[in-house]
Homo-oligomer: A and B are copies of this chain.
């Protein structure tokens, strides 16, 4: 997985029907680069997140074949990390 930070949101009205309804966030990856991830958690701009990539991101959507290759799987606890 990779760490990143929410830097934006995007909308796509004209889309393939199998794209699940939900937030598509722009994530700035900590090690450089950007990607767009589906966010089932409702993360806010600036929030640190954990993103999974590849076919396992799609397997989150059970029963359907979702064309999703990046998924926010957690919000990173920033306070706890600095204490450790």
Identify the A interface with B (CB < 8 A).
1-3, 8-16, 18-19, 24, 26, 30-31, 33-37, 40-41, 50, 52-60, 62, 65-71, 73-77, 80-81, 84
Contacts and interface: CB of A to CB of B under 8 A. Distances in A.
Question: What are the 10 A-B residue pairs with the smallest beta carbon separation, nearest first?
Answer: A12-B74, A15-B74, A1-B36, A11-B77, A14-B75, A56-B58, A59-B65, A52-B67, A11-B80, A67-B73
Contacts of A59: 58, 65, 67
A68 B54 contact: no
Contacts of A11: 76-77, 80-81
Contacts of A37: 1
Given A2-B36, A31-B33, A74 B41 contact: no
